[in-house]
Amino acid sequence: MQGRFFLFINFRQAAGFGHVGWGFQLDDQSYLYGATDHLYKHHHIDLISWMEYMYVQPGDHTDWWCGRGNEEEMIAAMSRSHHHIWYHACKIVDVKNAKPGEAETVARQLETAGWAVLNNNCVQQTYEIVKAYGADNLIPDPWANAFYLIPRVWFSAFKGEVRMLNNYA
């Protein structure tokens, strides 16, 4: 199946390091999209809360969410929806041998996968979906370069078509 993968970014999240979300084509008309937003819900000078924020054990709540709709509905949800994080831009790659069923399985497993700042963050989780979808040869492996663990850096290294969604200046 020919498909499309979308990598979304909010440039302001995570103290300016950014935050990524994902979307991919399921069939001719529908897409699955979402993110593990893992929102910080404490005062920024609360050091104990920052330490607790850095790791969420599997099964605990990570603000994971997903939606399903056509491309227009996906773009609307990612750029201005009821979710707490609005995405500023996305990059899009065409995938010749897309495996949407495998990617959906991985995406849904992430709901209970926990979260960790250095080894299970939004970049690594999104990359797992990318691999399952069959686009890993089109997108940089975050384990290949430590700087790719920074969402802004990984997004910049992604070679897809750019689409701006919201002004972030």
Nearest of 28, 31, 115 to residue 67 by alpha carbon: 31
169 has pLDDT over 60: no
* Higher-scoring residue by pLDDT: 104, 13: 104
Q: Residue 21 falls within a domain, yes or no?
A: yes
pTM across the whole model:
0.88
pLDDT by residue (tens digit) across 34-51? 998 756 555 566 566 655
Q: Residue 149 falls within a domain, yes or no?
A: yes
Q: Residue 26 falls within a domain, yes or no?
A: yes
pLDDT at 37: 74
52 has pLDDT over 70: no
Phi, psi of 111 (to 5 degrees): -55, -30
Q: Residue 169 falls within a domain, yes or no?
A: no
Find the farthest-apart pair of alpha carbons in the chain and give their distance in angstroms, rounded.
Answer: 49
pLDDT at 81: 64
3-class DSSP state of 45: coil
Q: Residue 8 falls within a domain, yes or no?
A: yes
Q: How confident is the model at residue 32 (pLDDT cuts 50, 70, 90)?
A: very high
99 has pLDDT over 60: yes
Q: Residue 85 falls within a domain, yes or no?
A: yes
Query: How many independent structural domains does the chain possess?
Result: 1
pLDDT at 51: 58
Q: b/e for 139-153, b at 16 or more Cβ within 10 A?
A: bbebeeeeebbbbbb
Query: Do 119 and 143 contact (CB within 8 A), yes or no?
Result: no
Q: Residue 123 falls within a domain, yes or no?
A: yes
Span 73-87, mean pLDDT? 83
Q: How confident is the model at residue 67 (pLDDT cuts 50, 70, 90)?
A: very high
pLDDT by residue (tens digit) across 117-157? 778 888 999 999 999 999 988 888 988 888 888 999 999 99
Range of the domain at 127: 3-164
Q: How confident is the model at residue 86 (pLDDT cuts 50, 70, 90)?
A: confident
